[in-house]
Amino acid sequence: MIGEAGRGIPTIIEMANYTRLTCSVGSSAMLRQALVQCLAYTRQRKAFGKHLAEHPLMQAVLTDLALETEAAVQLSFHLAHCYDAEDDLSLAWKRIMTPASKFWICKRAVELTGEMMEVFGGNGYVETGIMARIFKEAPVNTIWEGSGNVMCLDVLRAISHDHESIELLFHSFAETASQEPVLQNELQSLFRLFSQSNSHDLQFTARALVSRLVILAQAVLLKQHAPDFVSDAFIQTRYREFHGQVVGMIDPKTVDVEKLLERALASE
Ligand SMILES: Cc1cc2nc3c(=O)[nH]c(=O)nc-3n(C[C@H](O)[C@H](O)[C@H](O)COP(=O)(O)OP(=O)(O)OC[C@H]3O[C@@H](n4cnc5c(N)ncnc54)[C@H](O)[C@@H]3O)c2cc1C
C-alpha cells in the first residue's frame, strides 16, 4: 500500500501532479534548448549577404520565441517552487496551475519546436540533428500523464470542487494586474467566465479559458520577476496586437528587440 485504503484516486493524483509538473518543466527546457540553438545558429549562418540573426524578419521570429520561452520557464519554476510550500496559495497554484501549465506549455512546445526547426532551414529537418530530435520529442509531453482536453477538464474540476482556490489565485494576481489596465480587464473577465455555472459551456470553452489563464499568470510573473522590457513586450504582444496565429508578429517600434535577444543569449 502506498496510500490510505479507499483513497486511491487522491493518492495517484498527487503522483500525477508531480509528473505533470515535470512535463511543464521538460517542455520549457526543450524550448530553452531549442532557442539557444537557434540564437547560436543564426549568429553564424549567413544568407543573402549577412548573418541570419541580422535580418529584421528573423529578429522578429527570434524575439517572439525568446519571449515565449522566458514565460514558459518562469511559469514552470514558479510552479515548482509551490511544490516546496504548504500555504493555501501554493496549494491553489499546485491544484489549478499544474494541469493548466501542462496543457499550455507542452502544447506550445509542439508548435514552437517546429518553428525553431525551421530557423535552421533544411539542416533543421535532418533526422540526426538536434532540432529534428527536439521536434520529435515535444508531442509526448502533451499526451502522457493526461492529454490536453483532460488537463483542461482537470482545471475545471479543481475549480468546481474548491472555488475558493481560484478566488485565492486571482486575488494574488490582482495587485500586479492593477498596474496594467489590459491585465486588470482580463482578470475580471476571466474570473466571471470561470464562475459561470453552465457546465456544457464551461467544458466547450475550456481550452480558451485555460489558455487565457496561463497567459495571465505568465504576464503577472514576468511583471514581478523580469525586467520591464521583457514583461512590457510580453503583454504588448500577447494582448495588444494581433497575435497567436504565427510566430513573429512583433512591432519593433514598441519592443526592444536588441535587448531581448541579448538577454536570451549573451553575445561573446
Ligand atoms: C510514451 C508513453 C508512455 C506512457 N507511459 C505510461 C506509464 O508508464 N504508465 C501509465 O499508466 N500510462 C502511461 N502512458 C499512457 C498515457 O498516460 C495515456 O496514453 C494518456 O494519459 C492518454 O490517455 P489515453 O491513451 O487513454 O487516451 P484517451 O483517454 O482515449 O484520449 C484520447 C483523446 O480524447 C481526449 N479526451 C479524453 N477524455 C475526454 C473528455 N472527457 N472530453 C474531451 N476529450 C477527452 C484526450 O484529451 C485525447 O486527446 C504512456 C503514454 C505514452 C505515449
How do residues 213-262 score in pLDDT, each as one tens digit?
A: 999 999 999 999 999 999 999 999 999 766 667 899 888 888 999 999 99
CA of 19 to the centre of ligand 1 (A): 14
Atom of ligand 1 nearest to the CA of 145: 17
Helix (H, G, I), strand (E, B) or coil at 233: helix
Backbone phi, psi, residue 51, to 5°: -60, 145
Percent of the chain with pLDDT over 90: 88
**pTM here?**
0.93
Measured by CA distance, the residue closest to atom 47 of ligand 1 is 149
Q: Rounded mean pLDDT of 119-146?
A: 97
Between the two ends of the chain, the Cα-to-Cα distance in Å is 55
24-79: pLDDT as tens digits: 999 999 999 999 999 999 999 999 999 999 999 999 999 999 999 999 999 999 99
pLDDT score, position 136: 97
The pLDDT-based confidence of 97 (bands split at 50, 70, 90) is: very high
| CB of 144 sitting under 6 A from ligand 1 | yes
Average pLDDT over residues 150-175: 96
Of residues 126, 116, 128, 120, the one with CA closest to residue 33: 116
Report pLDDT for 243: 66
Residue type at 263 in one-letter notation: R
| Contact by Cβ (8 Å): 174, 187 | yes
Q: Which CATH class is domain 9-264?
A: mainly alpha
What is the structure's pLDDT at 141?
A: 98
Ligand 1 mutation target, pool 15, 137, 150, 204, most atoms within 8 A of CB = 150
Look at the block and give the residue holding cell 517546429.
114
Nearest protein CA to atom 34 of ligand 1, as residue = 149
Q: Which residue's CA is the closest to the ligand 1 atom numbered 45?
A: 149
pLDDT of amino acid 249: 86
Give domain limits for the chain.
9-264
